[in-house]
Amino acid sequence: MVLYEYPFNESIRTMLRLEHLFDRLGQLMARDTPLDHHFALVTIFEIMDVASRADLKSDLLKELERHKVQLNSYRGNPAIAESVLDEVIARIDHAFDGLNKLSGKAGHVLTSNEWLMSIRSRISIPGGTCEFDLPAYYTWQQFLPARRRNDLMQWTQSLMPLAEALQVLLGLLRDSGSPHKVAAVAGQFQQSLGAGRSYQLLRMRLDPSLGLVPEITGHRLMVSIRLMRQDEEGRLKPAHQDASFELTLCA
pLDDT of 197: 75
pLDDT of 37: 98
pLDDT of 61: 95
In angstroms, the CA 42 to CA 232 distance is 32
The region of weakest confidence among 109-113, 217-221, 224-228 is 217-221
Pick the closest to residue 226 from 216, 236, 234, 218 (CA basis). Answer: 216
Phi, psi (degrees; rounded to nearest 5) at 107: 80, 0
Residue 195 has pLDDT above 80, yes or no: no
Percent of the chain's residues with pLDDT above 90: 79
Mean residue pLDDT of the chain comes to 93
In angstroms, the CA 235 to CA 44 distance is 32
What is the helix (H) or strand (E) element at residue 49, kind and residue range? helix 34-50
Residue 248 has pLDDT above 80, yes or no: yes
Helices and strands per DSSP (H, E), number in the chain? 8, 8
Residue 196 — very low, low, confident or very high, per pLDDT cuts 50/70/90? low
Residue 107 — very low, low, confident or very high, per pLDDT cuts 50/70/90? confident
pLDDT of 63: 95
The per-residue pLDDT for range 22-80, each reduced to its tens digit, is 999 999 999 999 999 999 999 999 999 999 876 899 999 999 999 999 999 888 888 88
pLDDT of 242: 93
In angstroms, the CA 197 to CA 195 distance is 6
